[in-house]
Amino acid sequence: MLPTVSEVLAMPTLRRAAPRVVAGEAGLCRTVRWVHAAELADIAHLLRGGELVLTTGIALPSDDDGLAAYIDGLAAVDVAGLVVELGRTWRAELPEALRAACDRARLPLIALGRETRFVAVTQEVGEHVVNAQLTELREVERIHEVFTRLTVTGAEQAEILAEVARLTGWPVVLESIKHHVLGYDAAEHDPSDILTQWEQYSRAVVADGRTTYHEAEGWLVTVVGARGDDWGRLVLLAPERPGRRETVLLERAASALALHRLVAREREGLERHTHRTLLAALTATTPPSRDVLDRCADVGVPVRRRRLVGVVVAHRAPASTDELTRDLTEVVAAAARHGQVSALIAAHGDTAVGCLVSLPPRASDRAVVDRFAAAIHRAVAAMPRTVPVIVAAGTTVGEPASARRSLAEAEQVAAAAPVAAGEPACHRLHDVHIRGLLHLLGQDDRLTAFSDRELAAVRRYDADHGTSLLAVLRGFLTAGANKAAAASALHLSRPALYERLARLEHILGVDLSDPEVVTSLHVAMLVADATEGVSDAG
């Protein structure tokens, strides 16, 4: 490690010169990168920062303003400290203006009570600095070798984090750009002490560069990403100010993590291509050939004498992109690997991922698929971007030729199922009820005409009067015609809801206490929502 100002003052040559700190004690922890002897008042522009400046003061200004400007110039280039030998310019004490300026700049000012050879000071400190720099270079080279080896051998995320913790002895956390923890190594600390309220604390730590040290929190933070796609941050919980070694180590680990993600994507791309080809063959209108069944077994997803379940994971993101669907496919594949679920997995259209889960004959298909769905939801919640998803399953089939039907059912269920809190982790046909039927019939013009006819009067009224009675009707129907529940969901008082319902009855010419009328309007509303993309929340 490079020496600090206080460590330099403790070296034999300077110690014999009777050093005395007269100002700027707060900066004694500054790192000394070199020693420079100079008898110039305008030396600042020749310095690079980190120097300990030695002077007798013979060329320094004699007025207070000049001395203050001299110190301001040194502070502007981040000089480590100023050492003044007494006896030539100032006999016993340094000027008050010089001391005050150093205190303001937190720049250590040291007075030497005895004459000393500046060249001896430069030589002694220089040797220490060079040795420290050589040690640092060797350590940095070793760090590069360690992480190059990890990258070449295809080390997983946990191995990379463990190496950071081992080399520093400090905890390290990998988080997403949403501040969700993706992985960590506590370095023998209690994980609960580190991770409790992590998101709250992390949001308060704003980085102003690729790598930043936040002294108040003791966090060294670097961005993780590649090709302009920053997807996370790597945080080293450093109880003391980290040096260049720790900074290089964290940045090298971040590069290894970014490269691991890119390599994993390429590897996943090849696997997904194979799975997509096999899924297409299994779901074609003609029965799959023996070669296709053999290839399924070769990739670890046997389909002969197995129970097969089609599963579709559909995202409801406002803007769909190929990258988003690809990321979701990777997440689903990772959930299958971690849960040891045997499945063919590939993108299914622009907004969904299709899976064909293969189960042993005696396995509980519902239990396995539900655990798989729960794992998918947990993995999706940890993605860098929020993506609402629906997981839907078709019925279990016993023959590869029937896989097409199971996947088609899953797709229909995914399209009809609502995204709402409290919904099951995995939707099935019996969960979507009439929504599923309406989705199947959604292209029938007669159904659309029925919906338009049922709701036309209230739509015209809203358009003419600037009201939102259609939303009130939707809330009333969604609440099962329960007025108390509807009032609560719509944030209306009961008298206000009753008045609006009375107006709706008048506009539509119906009695909203008639079950058949309510059913008819509810079906019309569900058709409208399905065709117009209106949510049940209204």
The model's pLDDT over 197-249, given as tens digits with 9 standing for 90+, comes to: 888 889 888 877 788 998 888 999 999 987 667 888 999 999 888 888 888 88
Give which of 31, 149, 24 is closest to 83, Cα–Cα. 24
Question: Is 38 inside a domain boundary?
Answer: yes
Enumerate the H helices of 421-534 as residue ranges.
429-440, 445-465, 469-478, 483-490, 494-508, 515-532
Is 538's pLDDT higher than 70? no
Q: What would the two tokens of residue 469 be? A: 């009675």
Question: Is 160 inside a domain boundary?
Answer: yes
Instruction: Round the average pLDDT of the chain to a whole number and report it.
Output: 85
Question: Is 359 inside a domain boundary?
Answer: yes
pLDDT score recorded for residue 537: 35
Q: What would the two tokens of residue 279 be? A: 């899924």
Q: DSSP character for 28?
A: T
Do 304 and 424 lie in one domain? The reply is yes
334 exposure class (CB count in 10 Å sphere: 0-12, 13-18, 19+): middle
Do 415 and 346 lie in one domain? The reply is yes
Q: Is there a contact between 39 and 22 (Cβ–Cβ < 8 Å)?
A: no
> Where a domain ends, among 77, 109, 126?
126
Largest CA-CA distance found in the chain, in angstroms, rounded: 107
- Alpha-carbon separation of residue 195 from 163, 211, 212, 234 (angstroms): 19, 21, 20, 14
Lowest mean pLDDT, pick from 253-267, 268-282, 431-445 = 431-445
Is 478's pLDDT higher than 70? yes
Question: Is 289 inside a domain boundary?
Answer: no
For the beta carbon of residue 525, count every other beta carbon within 10 angstroms. Answer: 22
Question: Is 278 inside a domain boundary?
Answer: no
Q: Provide the pLDDT confidence category of residue 321 given band limits of 50, 70 and 90.
A: low
Do 410 and 325 lie in one domain? The reply is yes
For the ranges 380-394, 428-442, 479-493, the one whose mean pLDDT is highest: 479-493
Do 527 and 472 lie in one domain? The reply is yes
Do 75 and 11 lie in one domain? The reply is yes
For the beta carbon of residue 187, count every other beta carbon within 10 angstroms. Answer: 18
CA 441 to chain CA centroid, Å, is: 41
pLDDT average, residue stretch 31-36: 88
Using CA atoms, how far apart are residues 279 and 296, in angstroms rounded to an integer? 9
Do 164 and 118 lie in one domain? The reply is no
The domain total for the chain is 4
pLDDT score recorded for residue 24: 92
Range of the domain at 342: 300-432
Using CA atoms, how far apart are residues 145 and 414, in angstroms rounded to an integer? 49
Q: Provide the pLDDT confidence category of residue 436 given band limits of 50, 70 and 90.
A: low
Question: Is 295 inside a domain boundary?
Answer: no
Do 455 and 424 lie in one domain? The reply is no
> Where a domain ends, among 198, 232, 262?
262
pLDDT score recorded for residue 101: 94
For the ranges 317-326, 418-427, 466-475, the one whose mean pLDDT is highest: 466-475
The amino acid occupying position 243 is: G
Question: Is 507 inside a domain boundary?
Answer: yes
Q: Is there a contact between 474 and 527 (Cβ–Cβ < 8 Å)?
A: no
Using CA atoms, how far apart are residues 513 and 476, in angstroms rounded to an integer? 11
DSSP strands (E only) in 287-342? 307-315
> Where a domain ends, among 405, 432, 459?
432
Q: What would the two tokens of residue 450 be? A: 């029925």
Does pTM top 0.85 for this prediction?
Answer: no
